[in-house]
Structure 1
Amino acid sequence: MELEQAQKLWQPQPGWLNTASYGLPPDPVWTAVQEALADWRVGRTSWEGWGEAVDRSRVAFAGLVGVPAADVSIGSTVSQLLAPVAAALPAGATVVVPEVEFTSNLFPWLVQGERGVEVRTVPLAGLVDAIDAHTDLVAFSLVQSADGAVAPYEEIVAAARAHDALVVVDATQACGWLPFDGGLADVVVVGAYKWLMAPRGSAFAYLAPSVRDGMRPDAAGWYAGQDPHASYYGPPLRLADDARRFDISPAWFSWVGTAPALELIAEIGVPVIRAHDVALANRFLAGLGRPPGESAIVTVEVPGAREKLERAGVRAAVRAGRVRASFHVYSTEADVDLALDALTGRPDPG
């Protein structure tokens, strides 16, 4: 699908530059969720149809990051999906994490401190050099939430492999706009409500077989069964033999919206979306006299920026004391120029 054609499927109000907080649903997502809610309201259908959206979502996510669908587990949040990975670390293990890491990929490791797990936080720029023979696992965001910094993924993986360390990647701020090979890592987690533009409440984890074989599915329920529909009642334990053993029972309506969102992203193409998003981000930076970057997320320090943007109706975020603007498939040059007019005080050409 051509980008210009695809953009007609979104209905944003001008000035939405905050996809790094949450993405906007395209029409197929909105329609699917509304139809499901209408059916729920009157009891028009059974739930199994809603549940089928999970399988579609799993397959679509696997395709986006280049891993087998059998190695993908579904859940609701990044930290929930990381919990069994952290719990499987041996006592006394050492984890290296960037000091600016969003806490969903930090707290799961820190809570293992009572077992002697040590977490070392280092500057993102020094992450590669910080991986050494004492490192058991390195965890980092592919794109940082605070400022949009893109991690040197392949360099980090190479350093970890040189020291037999596991690699855990939070791709929540990347997946949907930044192409990457998920199979290079041992674990990749993604919250789907940002750049994947799904309803909040759906999340994915790629779990390499070598890692999940050492993990225990403490949250296992009927949906983790080899055949979920034959796992409603009674023993024995009969879990799936692939990553589904770590699934939790899905929040139906979130997944009803997740499947069409991911399928549309695949239809447009992540490389196409990346080129569009980064071009807009660099238009924004150029308008402020800043050098170009490689991220769809940018942060700037402009006196009174938050107030100026709010007065102009531009919705952005403030992270780590700086204004954070993020640009996605539905963003336009007009959105960028609206923000630049507000920040620079230049006259509106209209």
Structure 2
Amino acid sequence: MRTAFAEQFDVPPGYLNTASIGVPPARVADAVEAAVRRWRTAADNPPDFDAGVDTARAAFAALVGVDAAAVSVGASVSQLAGLVAASIPGGSRVLLARGEFTSLTFPFAAQRHRGLELTEVDLAKLPAEVAGHDLVAVSVVQSADGGMVDLDALREAAEAAGAWVLLDVSQAAGWLPLRLDWADWVVGVAYKWLLAPRGVAWLASRPEALDVVIPHAANWYAGEDRWGSSLYGLPLRLAGDARRLDLAPAWLPHVGAAAALPWLASLDLAEVRAHCAGLADALLDRLGLPPRGSAIVSLDLPDAGRRLAEAGVRASARAGRTRLSFHLYNTMADVEAAARALGR
């Protein structure tokens, strides 16, 4: 058991794989376990889960710097990004980072039959290439290697070009301080640095951008009166705010999200960033590599994955390299274990 930022974690030594799956505080896992016990004894009614859905929605809003009324509930990045991709005008020119995670890019590629034109450029060059495009879709922190987009430069370039911006915070929210109310859309999942179960995602929309999105998955939960008049029959009557894009929630994952996200939103995220990126940079230093200021480290070292696994260090293979990722429950002991495994 480890203690970090006043929470208890059952995370094992050497777990450096948060970019794949975050390990919840014990309190969060207990909340989900209790919900499963209630489920097996028929102790809950469907509306009982609404408070948790709304609590997690508000906490996600706080983590990315927007109003809760701007946030829609979904299940995955691809599902929510797909709403945007299917709603922008045919023929739109979309700018993407080369090597971007496909949950963000495939939804736009799937719309090529409507004439969408996709352009991929290196992440570092992306802000300079915004002119001439209608929309930019990019992860704040890249999944494959932890590269970070220059948000200030992107914002300036998008405003000058009049381009929409869709940001994916799946590898950033929870360790990186964010204020993204300027972006048209912000999407993110719960099961990485947000330490909640898989099956929850959110989409924050600026008012003008929300009006662009067609509710292709319109359903009763997105209705203005979701437990009353929205349940049966026509006409379409959706909520007036971002709830109009809600997907009916997977209840148990939202129980975990409602327990985890408010705690994360209450932390000094500058301190969390210093901790996470500091550990990642400490590992790079031991390997004779320059610091990057990211919580994700990507290594191109012979047999790195095998050597780490044999030493009990959990990492991932991504884009032909070995990826390690640090969160608030990691310590210098994890850094030293990884460095020893890699012969440094």
The list of structure 1 runs, each at least 4 consecutive aligned residues, that deviate by more than 4 angstroms after superposition, is none
SS for the counterpart of 1:310 is: helix
Q: Name the structure 2 match of 1:285.
A: 284
Q: Name the structure 1 match of 2:234.
A: 235
Deviations 1:85-104 (A, max 9, x none): 11121111100001111011
Confirm whether residue 221 of structure 1 aligns to residue 225 of structure 2: no
Q: Name the structure 2 match of 1:209.
A: 207
Q: Name the structure 2 match of 1:123.
A: 122
Tell me by how many angstroms 1:168 deviates.
0.6
SS for the counterpart of 1:54 is: helix
Tell me by how many angstroms 1:321 deviates.
1.2
- Which amino acid is the alignment partner of residue 278 of structure 2? A
- Measure, in 1, the Cα distance between the counterparts of 2:204 and 2:212: 15
Map 1:145-224 onto structure 2 (within 5 A). 145-224=143-222
Tell me by how many angstroms 1:51 deviates.
2.7
SS for the counterpart of 2:18 is: coil
- Measure, in 1, the Cα distance between the counterparts of 2:87 and 2:7: 46
Q: Name the structure 2 match of 1:16.
A: 15
- Which amino acid is the alignment partner of residue 330 of structure 1? Y
Map 1:51-66 onto structure 2 (within 5 A). 51-66=50-65
- Measure, in 2, the Cα distance between the counterparts of 1:247 and 1:336: 40
Q: Name the structure 1 match of 2:275.
A: 276
- Measure, in 2, the Cα distance between the counterparts of 1:78 and 1:5: 28
- Measure, in 2, the Cα distance between the counterparts of 1:238 and 1:189: 25
Tell me by how many angstroms 1:171 deviates.
0.7
Deviations 1:116-140 (A, max 9, x none): 11001111111112111x2100110
SS for the counterpart of 1:217 is: coil
Map 1:250-269 onto structure 2 (within 5 A). 250-269=249-268
- Measure, in 1, the Cα distance between the counterparts of 2:275 and 2:155: 27
Instruction: Please give the root-mean-square deviation of Cα atoms over the aligned residues, in Å.
Output: 1.3
Structure 2 residue ranges without an equivalent (≥5): none
- Which amino acid is the alignment partner of residue 206 of structure 1? A
Tell me by how many angstroms 1:8 deviates.
4.4
Structure 1 residue ranges without an equivalent (≥5): none
- Which amino acid is the alignment partner of residue 147 of structure 1? D
* TM-score, structure 2 as length reference: 0.97
- Measure, in 2, the Cα distance between the counterparts of 1:8 and 1:180: 22
* TM-score, structure 1 as length reference: 0.95
Contact 1:280 1:327 in 2 (8 A): yes
- Which amino acid is the alignment partner of residue 31 of structure 1? D
Tell me by how many angstroms 1:45 deviates.
2.5
Q: Name the % identity.
A: 48
Contact 1:36 1:50 in 2 (8 A): no
Deviations 1:31-52 (A, max 9, x none): 1100000010121232322232
- Which amino acid is the alignment partner of residue 58 of structure 1? R
SS for the counterpart of 2:302 is: coil
SS for the counterpart of 2:110 is: helix
SS for the counterpart of 1:96 is: strand
- Measure, in 2, the Cα distance between the counterparts of 1:146 and 1:68: 30
Q: Name the structure 1 match of 2:133.
A: 135
Deviations 1:230-269 (A, max 9, x none): 1211222210011000000000000000011101112223
Tell me by how many angstroms 1:7 deviates.
5.3
- Which amino acid is the alignment partner of residue 334 of structure 2? D
- Which amino acid is the alignment partner of residue 44 of structure 1? A
Tell me by how many angstroms 1:225 deviates.
0.5
Tell me by how many angstroms 1:336 deviates.
1.1
Aligned length: 342
Classify 1:292/1:253 alpha carbon distance in 2 versus 1 (closer, same or farther; 3 Å). Answer: same
Contact 1:54 1:256 in 2 (8 A): yes
- Measure, in 2, the Cα distance between the counterparts of 1:24 and 1:68: 27
SS for the counterpart of 1:184 is: coil
- Measure, in 2, the Cα distance between the counterparts of 1:279 and 1:10: 20
Contact 2:3 2:9 in 1 (8 A): no
Deviations 1:24-75 (A, max 9, x none): 1111210110000001012123232223210000111111111111100010
SS for the counterpart of 2:188 is: strand
Q: Name the structure 1 match of 2:326.
A: 327
Contact 1:223 1:248 in 2 (8 A): yes
Q: Name the structure 2 match of 1:32.
A: 31
Contact 1:286 1:292 in 2 (8 A): yes
- Measure, in 2, the Cα distance between the counterparts of 1:53 and 1:191: 16
